[in-house]
A and B are shown apart, each in its own frame.
Chain A
Amino acid sequence: MKKFNLVTLATKNIRRKKFRTGILVFSISLIVSVLVFGLSFIINVSSGIERASARLGADLIVVPVGARSYAEEVLLESKSKSFYMNKNIINRVKKIEGVDVITFHTYLTTIQGVCCDVPEATVVAFNQESDFIIMPWLEKAIGRKLEKNEAIVGHESFLNIGLGLMDAMLFGTRFKIMGALDKTGTGLDNAIFTSDENVEEILQKGRSQLKPDEISIIFVKVKEGYDPYIVGRIIEGDIIEADVVTRSDIGKDITGALGDINMIFSITVFMASILSVLLAWAIFSATVNERLREVGVMLALGAKESHVAKLFFIEVFFIGLMGSVCGVVFGTALSLLLAKSFTILKNLPGGLNAVDRAVIGAAGFVIGTGICILGAFSPVQRIKKLEPLAVIKGELA
């Protein structure tokens, strides 16, 4: 004979009302997939921001007044933005107590549609003498500094198409593309990098909005023992033309907005979960009612309440399991599929690793199965009040 135990008995029971079970499985999988999808999105964004700001390797960034969000868009989301301040701010920042080393970038935006230029992209002119943001990556990629009229591209740049590297026309000047950086996990992965020696020639060609003696951003490392936040406040106080973002604050606007999305999402999922619990409750109430006579017979044959409860909960667990598994698969697929249609995700570095996905999947699984068990709980309790003879004869207890 085939195996016969409470589990096989429960699986036989599951197959009895296929349509009804199907509806429950489907609704559990819906709620779980929404959960998995939403969690993937939120965790993806927040961990992406964290990773990116950590990898920039600076404690503070100094930007022109009012350009904070532009800077974040460039550094986190790979957007092209132009914002400039006077070069003399470099020396003024250097003098502030607690500032250890600094370097600076000038961001130039290539203009789309102009003859012979490349599509819109950020060109980062950086100072190779002082740089600590790009140099470690450059060192790894080509093992030397960039010469004049040389450039290197970020890992995600449209120029890094794996077909060999060509020269590129940028602002009317021909640049030799020397290679591609490894993935840095920041918004700069989409940029094109070149030495700031080239800025003068670019200025002469007049193909950018850049004016002489302008830079975009200053990166600061603070000395050991100094609180970046306090140093930042001093810089802002001393230099009214500049705003400061501390590393921990990078992406705060985005995470702030994310918090709101998170809240809306949580409320939605919570309500949908309650709805699913009610559905599970209704379905299991009906199921228990229908099987009351059988339950009575089982009790009369010597089943303990725990046997009958186990039988139902195994069934409930399997239904929850099926729904959860479908939901996790579907939600994960959805998040992978739609990842590129969210601007914020498209531009954020990283993405979820296997562990993240496993944790999210586990959460979906626990919630999906939990919903099912919660819904079935009170219907199954009914069997405790039954007198076998009464239910066998068909009187409802």
Chain B
Amino acid sequence: MHIVLSDVTKSYFIGKDRFDAVRNVSLEIDSREFISIVGHSGSGKTTLLSIIGGIARPTSGTVLYEGKDIYSLDKDRLSEYRCEKTGFIFQFASLLPNLTSEENVLLPVLFKTGNRAIAAAEKKAAELLHMAGVGDKLNAYPSQLSGGQQRRVAIARAFINDPEVVLADEPTGDLDEATEAEIMRFFKRMNEEAGTTFIMVTHNSGLARDTGRQLKMDNGSISVVQGI
């Protein structure tokens, strides 16, 4: 697992005005890293994470995954990258409202391997939901869950396809401290035992300090706070 961002810029155009949400970011991410990104709201963290996750095309610059520019892949290959290599934990509520927790977690399996793999993945889905602390909510619909519980289901979902890299956008934003710590322990364990790479956006500087490398976004630019 090796990701290289070179000179990545994402601009939005509001009328004639150009606004760089992410500006000239170059970054190298290695296997088994645990990276945190801090920064003010609006500094471009979500945009950067989305660019790495293959869900927002940069205006310029390249994102290489294992040496290949993911945005030069055709649509289906890019989908496969999202599906198989990354696990995205969105900042926003992202569960499908008419699916149960279990079905929501299994959705990426459906996209990866189709119907046949579902039965085999059921046990794993239940385990992940259990680890995320919502093991008793398998058959609950999102509307029957609290915001924090929904977030945990989304976290479980990010791990179902054994991603190489988990992109977590303020994953513990609406969780209490105890749960936050619990989730962090889970992340750490996945990082150490399964070798999953983590890039996590957080406002909690304590959590950030506890990671291998701490980056800071400011007005679209990135700087190193701690680490290499």
Contacts and interface: CB of A to CB of B under 8 A. Distances in A.
Interface of A: 1, 4-6, 9, 12-13, 15-16, 294, 297-307, 387-390, 392-393
Contacts of B76: 304-306
B82 A301 contact: yes
Contacts of B82: 299-302
Contacts of B146: none
Contacts of B88: 300-301
10 contacts: A4-B110, A6-B115, A12-B99, A16-B98, A294-B96, A298-B111, A301-B83, A301-B111, A301-B157, A305-B75
B183 interface: no
Contacts of B149: none
B191 to A, nearest CB: 21
Contact of A302 (B56, B84, B115): B84
B94 A297 contact: yes
Contacts of B92: 392-393
B61 to A, nearest CB: 16
A297 B96 contact: yes
The 6 A-B pairs with the shortest beta carbon distances in the complex, nearest first, are: A302-B83, A388-B55, A389-B56, A5-B115, A302-B82, A389-B50
Given A303-B83, A303-B111, 5 more contacts: A4-B106, A5-B114, A5-B118, A298-B96, A392-B55
Instruction: Give the secondary structure class of B's interface.
Output: helix
B79 A302 contact: yes
A301 B99 CA distance: 15
B56 A388 contact: yes
A300 B53 contact: yes
Nearest to B49: A389
Nearest to A303: B111
The size bracket of the interface on B is: 35 or more
A302 B112 contact: yes
A209 B72 CA distance: 94
Interface in B75-96: 75-76, 79-80, 82-84, 88, 90, 92, 94, 96
A301 B118 contact: no
A390 B56 contact: yes
B196 interface: no
B162 interface: no
Contacts of B97: 294
Given A12-B99, A294-B96, A1 B122 contact: yes
A389 B82 CA distance: 13
Contacts of A5: 110, 114-115, 118
Q: Which of A300, A302, A387, A393 has the most CB of B within 10 A?
A: A302
B111 A300 contact: no
Nearest to B84: A302
Interface string B99-111: 1001100111011
Contacts of B107: 298, 301
B214 interface: no
Contacts of B108: 301-302
A53 B125 CA distance: 71
Contact of A4 (B46, B94, B103, B161): B103
A301 B57 CA distance: 16
Contacts of A12: 98-99
Contact of B55 (A6, A13, A387): A387
Q: Which of A9, A298, A387, A389 has the most CB of B within 10 A?
A: A389
A301 B107 CA distance: 8
A387 B83 contact: no
A6 B116 CA distance: 12
Contacts of A6: 110, 115
B210 to A, nearest CB: 27
Contact of A387 (B56, B96, B110): B56
A392 B46 CA distance: 12
Contacts of B47: 389
Nearest to B87: A301
A205 B108 CA distance: 94
Contacts of A393: 92
A388 B79 CA distance: 11
A302 B57 contact: no
Interface string B44-79: 001100100101110000000000000000011001
B63 to A, nearest CB: 14
Contacts of A305: 75-76, 79
A90 to B, nearest CB: 78
B201 to A, nearest CB: 14
A97 to B, nearest CB: 76
Contacts of B106: 4
Nearest to B79: A304
